């Protein structure tokens, strides 16, 4: 599925309203030094579409910072707000492994039509992995926590991570790009791992 089709789906007034409520009310403000729980498949909240951030409020900043701590603690290379039950369009990427970059209202414009195989996992699908086709390169745009515009060229792994995280904001998981057969294999694996994780808890 491509980005354009997602964008075209948006814009219905009543739908926007309920999603805005999701954005504001779904997550109580955690205290500092908290690690947020990353929701895992098949949690229905992962299917919700996040709303555009119109004003960067204290809670946007607060949750974004806690998402950074969460991503570091989980050792991931990307995290989207919907994965922690927050309904504003915020993603983090940490391909370099240094300081995660926060992008509010992110968008990705691919260059050309080159697509590559991207082997992906996801914190919301523990133990699951599959090859997904992603645009090789493009421009990412968005806003930083300092309200400055972000725009830069990305390719390869970084481009794949951005596409994966923006998918999350549209309620799309990487398994949604797979054939039913491959999707079922990943889901079976995830269920098995989740069961094992719960047993050792």
Which residues are tagged catalytic?
A: 165
Q: CB within 8 A of 29, min separation 6: which ones?
A: 59, 62, 63
Distance, CA of 36 to CA of 40 (rounded, Å): 12
Considering beta carbons, is residue 60 or 120 the nearer one to Ni ion?
Answer: 120
Shortest CB 80 distance to Ni ion, Å? 7
Distance, CA of 32 to CA of 59 (rounded, Å): 12
Chain centroid to Cα 25, Å, comes to 19
CB under 5 A: which stretch of 43-51, 104-112, 122-130, 185-193 binds Ni ion?
122-130
Q: Is 122 in the site for Ni ion (CB under 5 A)?
A: yes
Considering beta carbons, is residue 56 or 140 the nearer one to Ni ion?
Answer: 140
Query: What are residue 73's phi and psi, to 5 degrees?
Result: -65, -35
Structure tokens at 74: 């989980």
CB under 5 A: which stretch of 89-97, 116-124, 137-145, 190-198 binds Ni ion?
116-124
Q: Tell me the residue nearest to Ni ion as measured from the CB.
A: 122
Shortest CB 168 distance to Ni ion, Å? 6
Q: Residue numbers of the site for Ni ion (CB under 5 A)?
A: 122
């Amino acid at each position: 599925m491509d980005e354009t089709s997602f964008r075209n789906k948006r814009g219905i007034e009543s739908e926007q309203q309920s999603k805005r409520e999701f954005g504001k009310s779904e997550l109580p403000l955690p205290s500092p030094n908290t690690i947020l729980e990353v929701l895992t498949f098949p949690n229905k909240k992962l299917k919700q579409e996040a709303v555009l951030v119109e004003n960067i409020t204290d809670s946007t900043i607060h949750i974004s910072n806690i998402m950074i701590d969460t991503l570091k603690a989980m050792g991931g290379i990307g995290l989207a707000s919907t994965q922690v039950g927050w309904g504003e369009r915020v993603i983090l990427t940490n391909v370099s492994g240094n300081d995660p970059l926060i992008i509010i209202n992110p968008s990705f414009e691919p260059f050309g039509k080159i697509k590559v195989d991207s082997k992906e996992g996801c914190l919301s699908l523990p133990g699951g992995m599959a090859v997904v086709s992603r645009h090789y390169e493009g421009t990412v745009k968005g806003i930083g926590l300092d309200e400055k515009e972000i725009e830069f060229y990305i390719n390869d792994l970084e481009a794949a991570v951005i596409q994966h995280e923006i998918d999350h904001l549209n309620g799309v998981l990487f398994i949604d790009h797979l054939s039913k057969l491959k999707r079922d294999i990943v889901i079976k694996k995830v269920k098995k791992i989740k069961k094992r994780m719960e047993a050792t808890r």
